[in-house]
Amino acid sequence: MSESLLKFFQETGFAGATWGNIVMILVSFLLLYLAIKHKFEPLLLFTIAFGMLLTNLPGAGMFHSELFAGGHVHWGSFVQNAGLLDYLYLGVKLGIYPCLIFVGVGAMTDFGPLIANPKSFMLGAAAQVGIFLTFIGAIALGFTPAQAGSIGIIGGADGPTAIFLTSMLAPELLGPIAVAAYSYMALVPVIQPPIMRLLTTKKERMIKMEQLRPVSKTEKILFPIVIAVIISMLLPSAAPLIGCLMLGNLMKECGVVDRLSKTVQNELMNIVVIFLGLTVGATATAEAFINLKTLGILLLGVVAFAVGTSGGLLLARFMNLFLPEGKKMNPLIGAAGVSAVPMAARVAQTVGQEANPSNFLLMHAMGPNVAGVVGSAVAAGILLSFLG
């Protein structure tokens, strides 16, 4: 009897628990708390946290990282040993989920403010400086170039892009990078305002921008086609992300496939978010997460965000030197160049209204904001072609 009880106890997760499992389970509880109580990017942080919980339950064997060791799928043992999360993880490993999410993001994005004010593209480009400076910083901290590129892309403030690039370049860092990217995206209203106030004067923050010109439907339809063709021709490695983003946008703008547009915005997006979050969370095992590298990634992630924000702000100020009075732009919209749609644009609006309550920057900030999405996808393509 006692032997049977002992055997039963030895088979339970409690007997096999390591301190690493316990720490990771506590981390997953913390992330669940942040997602549920404080609504920190709940759609993804919630599922990531639950995936993290499942993968760290001792003895459950929900996810087998050894099937994906060395950066490729071991198909021979995969068929025999793979479980649900392993099968779902194939969508991340093969770069399917981020692209499907980009179709949904495209269908939900209005590129009108960017078409009306093409200068916004430059603000979106300048904000990508965070990616490349963080890449250098990560190399200095001892990461390999492929890992450093994946860490740098956190500065793009674009979850699917970060997951896409990391799954290609450094899949062993997928868990910490995804957690860092989504946590910092949720913390944009905390990270950005002090930098915005530091790098701009009150007079600049008070600048009112003239109303954007109306954009015709034809322009909105041609925009995704032109961007997809030009960027994919110039940078084929960015084609999956840019192509999917523009496919979704064309579905929305053309107006003849409303059913498809609604599906990619809702059902498809939601299903993929569940699969993506769960499987990315599942990669955050104790061995992969509890080490100094994770600490370095979290540190470099916040640096990437801060540098990206500064890049957009400073370029906007620089461009103002050449713009005539009355046409000057409020430099706060430059900070929205770090993707994080639409949170960064909302932060620009809030900080702008603090300085001048009659100022409405939201639509102006949406231009650099969506340009940041394009910019970070281009940066990911460049890093993939250089380091992949």
Using CB under 8 A, list all residues that contact other proteins: 114-116, 118-119, 121-122, 124-126, 128-129, 131-133, 135-136, 139-140, 142, 145, 211, 213, 216, 218-219, 222-223, 226-227, 230-231, 234-235, 371, 374-375, 378-379, 382-383, 386-387
266/270 Cα distance (integer angstroms): 6
Measured from the CB atom, the residue of 43 and 141 that comes closer to other proteins is 141
CB of 78 to other proteins, least distance (A): 32
- The candidate with the shortest Cα–Cα distance to 269, out of 47, 2, 38, 1, is 47
Measured from the CB atom, the residue of 40 and 121 that comes closer to other proteins is 121
Measured from the CB atom, the residue of 120 and 283 that comes closer to other proteins is 120
Are 365 and 332 a contacting pair, CB within 8 Å?
yes
CB of 41 to other proteins, least distance (A): 25
Measured from the CB atom, the residue of 201 and 291 that comes closer to other proteins is 291
Measured from the CB atom, the residue of 97 and 143 that comes closer to other proteins is 143
Measured from the CB atom, the residue of 55 and 369 that comes closer to other proteins is 369
263/338 Cα distance (integer angstroms): 27
CB of 215 to other proteins, least distance (A): 8
Structure tokens at 261: 């547009």
CB of 77 to other proteins, least distance (A): 31
In this structure, how many other beta carbons lie within 10 angstroms of the beta carbon of residue 304? 31
Measured from the CB atom, the residue of 306 and 374 that comes closer to other proteins is 374
Measured from the CB atom, the residue of 76 and 324 that comes closer to other proteins is 324
CB of 354 to other proteins, least distance (A): 26
CB of 157 to other proteins, least distance (A): 14
Measured from the CB atom, the residue of 244 and 371 that comes closer to other proteins is 371
CB of 352 to other proteins, least distance (A): 21
CB of 253 to other proteins, least distance (A): 14
CB of 124 to other proteins, least distance (A): 6
Cα Rg of the chain (Å, integer): 22
CB of 57 to other proteins, least distance (A): 36
What type of residue sits at position 182? Y
Are 193 and 329 a contacting pair, CB within 8 Å?
no
Measured from the CB atom, the residue of 234 and 323 that comes closer to other proteins is 234
